[in-house]
Amino acid sequence: MKSAKPFTHLRVASGFSFKYGTAHTHQLVERAAEFGAQSIALTDRDGMAGAISFVESCEANGIAPILGVNLSFIQKKYRVTLLAQRGYLGSLYRLVTAINMDNDENILTHNLLERFSEYSKNVLLLHGPESQLALAVSNRQISNALSIFNSTRELFASQGIECVSHQIRGDGPYSTSHAAKLLGFAQDNSIPAVLSNAVRMLDRSDGPVADVLDAARALVPLSARHIERKNSEAYLKSAPQMYAIADEISRMAGARDGQLLIKNTNDWAERSALSPRSDVGVGQIHLPEPSVVGAANRSELEAQLRARCEAGVASRYAGSQLVKANERLAQELLTVRTLGYETYFLTVADITDIARAKGIRVAARGSGAGSLICHALGISGVEPMTHGLLMERFCSPLRGELPDIDIDVESARRLEIYDAVFARYGDSNWGSPGNKSRCATVSMVETYRARHAIRDVGAALGIAPMEIDLIAKSMPHIRSKNIAKALENLPELKNLNLNTPILKVAIELAARLDGLPRHLAMHPCAIALSDIGLQDLAPIARSASGYPMAQFDKDGVESIGLLKLDVLGVRMQSSIAYAISEIKRTTGTELDIDRIPLDDAPTFDLIKSTRTLGIFQIESPGQRELVGKLAPETFNDLIIDISLFRPGPVKADMITPFLETRQGFRTRPVIHVDLESILKETEGVVVFHEQVIRIIATLTGATMAEADERRRELGTIDGQQRVCDWFYPSALAKGYTHKVVTEVWDILRAFASFGFCKAHAAAFALPTYQSAWLKTHHTAAFIAGVLTHDPGMYPKRLILGEAKQMGVAISPIDVNLSSTSYLVEDNGGAIRIALSDVSGISAEEVSTIISGQPYIDLADFVYRAGAARPTTEALIMVGGFDQLHKLGSGGINRRDLLLHLQDLYRLNGAKNSINQSQMNLGFEPPPLEASGLPNLTSSEIVKNEIDILGMDISSHLMEFYGEFLNAIGAVRSSDLLKHRSGSSVLVAGVKVALQTPPIRSGKRVMFLTLDDGFGCNDLTFFESVQGDYAEVLKNSWLFLARGEIRRTGPRGISLRATGAWELAESYEKWRNLTVYGAAASE
């Protein structure tokens, strides 16, 4: 419905005006469309992060978008609104970029305007109620107001006055009389005046939400003093409502009615209405120019890509494989040429080359691993043909969007890649116009979810911080509109009365903050690249870490066709790189981990044994259980394992039929012989997207690319119907029987949504296999890497235990031998603990200690190592000087060393600080003698190790409870397999993980993993037992637990928990009981 007298809102703040606007962009657009508006503006405060989602909503609703920004002008307290003129959106973006790069407070200054006038002179400026000009007018300083207006007259395309009346009492800003004064000023000086409603809400009823945001922004509790809002009129009003306000203001200014005000508003709307496609660039593609990769034109670009790919294929394949590979390559290249994506592949390859040139490990993840081009260019390490991976899943001529490549790099060196990309594609001169950066990081919108919403509302309402903290901390990561429901189900909150009026209000308000943008952060891993026009397509800000950052999020940059590359830091890659460097350091061997055979039997034996701690992807309790059941024998099995271990397949129970067939308990029905080659690898269960694509292509004769489009359609109910309507006739026409077609269709419909991209799983399986291979063949180097880079979910003490159980000794900290990282010693027989794990040690201390090595004694260390006294004490207590002073051989002990340290400090205390010069002055250190004090007991030693290093090295924590555990018949984790399924056992151990993954049914399951020094016990606590034990599970560290054994496969075992207790408490009870019992019998 188009209204006869439409109105365009030229000033609208959405939720992207962080902690100010209460409405989502799409809500505002939809409402404007309902009102019959032909256009609507988005003029968020200080940024343009909402622009793309807003423009897309406008396009979907058939109204024209207008883009602008509201920001501080000259001084922080004065605000004006800038609007882009049609055809000149890039100028507004570049001006906003200039402001962002100039100062953190987003203040537009005269100096900036003069420097960047080539942009500003294409931009429209509105002086509204908060402007300096308005203040002058309302103070009746008319000449001052005029000179303010004239000072920027030449710097903008046009300037206007913005009249706003929220019908507040009095004559201040947002009152009708204030608006009328501004209108009068405009009339007197022939300045165009427009009407807006300075919208910040969707509905009149959103006032309380605005108040909470105002309070949260100012970090103060709600009170009349801190609230900007006098009433609730700043909402998106209808055209008739706005016409009435136009009349009211105009009449007060002496005009007959508001027609002129409305006409001017419509003129300005007309001037700034944008085309989503040609102005904003939605749906277009912007890639770096051929010249960036050294090509003069398209045909050179094609030739370059072809040559590099052919060389890559020739070096990786031979014989008949080479022929097949070349065929496939020709096909893929044809697709790329049709799409014009040559620069896309060459740019990504350029970046992976840059990384490798720096010696940084890179691996592609995601569907990109399905492309032979990616493999040939060295972007992806996975060989796509053997594993049946498809280019079409990744990149197809039927999809008008850029494919998505994610690259995994060593986490420790990720930012080096950022720096290199910015050095190659960026530009550093932001102080003058014409910046030529082709790259920027991408932003990420943090939205209100339960925790933040309840915290901000609680603070605004002045609820006791303790109470808010309790609720907020217990909140799982859920949407804030589900808070009320979540609260009912949390056992921790049983004692809290949630029925007080204030808490009810808080919960209701928190729900209304749900999903509102809260903050713009830098996306943790995305980089956007484009041609030289990047800044005409997106405004750039500086991220907190200093990188230029597009204000659009990843969906936004994808919509406008920028090349988005995710550079993910993967700790396992750092661990692998470290293991390789340790192998080289200790043996001199250069290991090329990317060329190891993928069929190494000992590696699969290790995986099957479920000793997978530290291995990528398969170390979690659930995965240990799954690999125990599945018993992977090949690389393809690993791919299947990784694909099955996801919520969808687990919930749909795809694993059971797969395993039953695999283990021979079930014979698999063969649907049709044509599908056998597709379904055989997964025992008839559809696990992969690639299988769905092949099945559709086989049955209907469609191309793979078309089949993938159909697969994508299966994601929605409507789409399923469309595919169904097409699938049946196509398959029947190919001569398949109705029975076969129906059976296949049922499978497609049931499993399509759970399917996983096999290329993605294969890309993950590679580091999984590589880490398993390293753990098998270079155990010490691998575990040293894991300890140094900490890639997994388990505490280091557990990894140490794993090392010991695999026959690698753990050498204690030694001031002469320990380094910043964990070193392999003794030909791979031992790992030396790193200095950096001493609690409280600084990076500087670590480096000065290492540069001073070797030390001749403690005194020498104190003089030269640059370590603070507490650090030295800590080092003594964990045995860092044991070797140096030959402690094991009788005579002195660690206590003596501590006394000696005291002496050293006492002696030198009078002579100021200890430093090297005193050493040179020839002070004789006090003698080191045995004091006769007893040495530390072994339990004291372990306590020190735990306190200082967070790990028990000399003996396992559980050893102290050995007698107790034997007495009560507790079972060692390594002996669980000897017990019958269904029997109830006691186990004990140190908590290594407690997980409460979200489960779709809303029921909470807690997984507890206990390490007992012989391996791990995995216990599952279902809801019925949680109530009694949730608190002890959360707060304790050492446990005695009772569970029922469930055998799940050849080596698979899990415990259904029926109880858990604090171990020390149980031990005390037992001891008292035995002592008491003994006393009673006497």
Partner 1 sequence: MIAPEGEPIEFIYKGRKFHIHAIVSRWRESGGWWNRINDGNSHLNEANIFDDGARAIWRVEAAPEGALNTFEIELDEITKTWQIRPTSRPL
Residues that bind partner 1 in the complex, under the rule CB under 8 A: 166-170, 175, 204-205, 207-208, 211, 222, 224, 227, 229-233, 460-461, 501-502, 504-505, 508
Q: Which of 323/464 has CB closer to partner 1?
A: 464
Q: Which of 504/739 has CB closer to partner 1?
A: 504
Residue 79 CB, nearest approach to partner 1 (Å): 22
Tell me the angle at which helices 342-357 and 298-316 cross, rounded to the nearest 10 degrees: 50
Residue 26 CB, nearest approach to partner 1 (Å): 22
Exposure string of 307-336, with b = 16+ CB inside 10 Å and e = fewer, is ebbbebbeeebeeeeeeebbebbeebbebb
Residue 168 CB, nearest approach to partner 1 (Å): 6
Residue 704 CA to residue 1063 CA, distance in Å, equals 59
Q: State both tokens at 34.
A: 């309902």
SS3 category, 631: coil
Residue 848 CA to residue 842 CA, distance in Å, equals 10
Residue 3 CB, nearest approach to partner 1 (Å): 18
Residue 439 CA to residue 535 CA, distance in Å, equals 9
Q: Which of 448/1021 has CB closer to partner 1?
A: 448
Residue 209 CB, nearest approach to partner 1 (Å): 9
User: Could you give the count of Cα atoms lying within 13 Å of 402 in the half-sphere of its Cβ?
Assistant: 30
Written as one string, the DSSP assignment of 1004-1037 is --EEEEEE-SSSEEEEEE-HHHHHHHHHHHHH-S
Q: Which of 472/509 has CB closer to partner 1?
A: 509
Residue 46 CB, nearest approach to partner 1 (Å): 25
Q: Which of 166/387 has CB closer to partner 1?
A: 166
Tell me the angle at which helices 621-630 and 601-608 cross, rounded to the nearest 10 degrees: 120
Q: Which of 19/166 has CB closer to partner 1?
A: 166
Q: Which of 502/868 has CB closer to partner 1?
A: 502
Q: Which of 211/882 has CB closer to partner 1?
A: 211
Residue 23 CB, nearest approach to partner 1 (Å): 16
**Comparing C-alpha atoms, which of 517, 1025, 456 is closest to residue 471?**
456
**Comparing C-alpha atoms, which of 649, 679, 684, 681 is closest to residue 666?**
684
Residue 498 CB, nearest approach to partner 1 (Å): 14
Q: Which of 208/801 has CB closer to partner 1?
A: 208
Q: Which of 56/211 has CB closer to partner 1?
A: 211
Residue 207 CB, nearest approach to partner 1 (Å): 5
Residue 222 CB, nearest approach to partner 1 (Å): 5
Sole residue written with tokens 């009389």: 177
Q: Give ∠ CA 549-555-558 in degrees, rounded to 5.
A: 85
Residue 465 CB, nearest approach to partner 1 (Å): 17
Residue 554 CA to residue 565 CA, distance in Å, equals 10
DSSP 8-state class, residue 282:
T
Residue 462 CB, nearest approach to partner 1 (Å): 8
Q: Which of 205/656 has CB closer to partner 1?
A: 205
Q: Which of 505/724 has CB closer to partner 1?
A: 505
445 sits in which H/E element: strand 439-447
Residues 6+ apart with CB under 8 A from 919: 863, 864
Convert 848-912 into a string of H (helix), E (strand) and C (coil): HHHHHCCCCCHHHHHHHCCCCHHHHHHHHHCCCCCCCCCHHHCCCCHHHHHHHHHHHHHHHHCCC
Residue 504 CB, nearest approach to partner 1 (Å): 7
DSSP 8-state class, residue 19:
T
159 sits in which H/E element: strand 158-163
Classify residue 1057 by burial, with Cβ atoms within 10 Å: 0-12, 13-18, 19+: buried
**998: phi then psi, degrees, rounded to nearest 5:** -70, 135
Q: Give ∠ CA 143-147-149 in degrees, rounded to 5.
A: 115
Which amino acid is located at 3 in the chain? S
DSSP 8-state class, residue 496:
S
Cross-strand partners of 1062: 1039
Largest CA distance in the chain: 111
**Comparing C-alpha atoms, which of 963, 964, 944, 960 is closest to residue 952?**
944
Q: Which of 232/853 has CB closer to partner 1?
A: 232
**What separation, in Å, do the N-terminal and C-terminal C-alpha atoms of the chain show?**
97
Q: Which of 240/701 has CB closer to partner 1?
A: 240
**Phi-psi sector, 912: left (phi>0), alpha (psi -120 to 50), beta:** left
Q: Which of 205/1074 has CB closer to partner 1?
A: 205
Q: Which of 247/683 has CB closer to partner 1?
A: 247
Residue 553 CB, nearest approach to partner 1 (Å): 31
Residue 167 CB, nearest approach to partner 1 (Å): 5
Residue 1071 CB, nearest approach to partner 1 (Å): 53
User: Could you give the count of Cα atoms lying within 13 Å of 231 in the half-sphere of its Cβ?
Assistant: 11
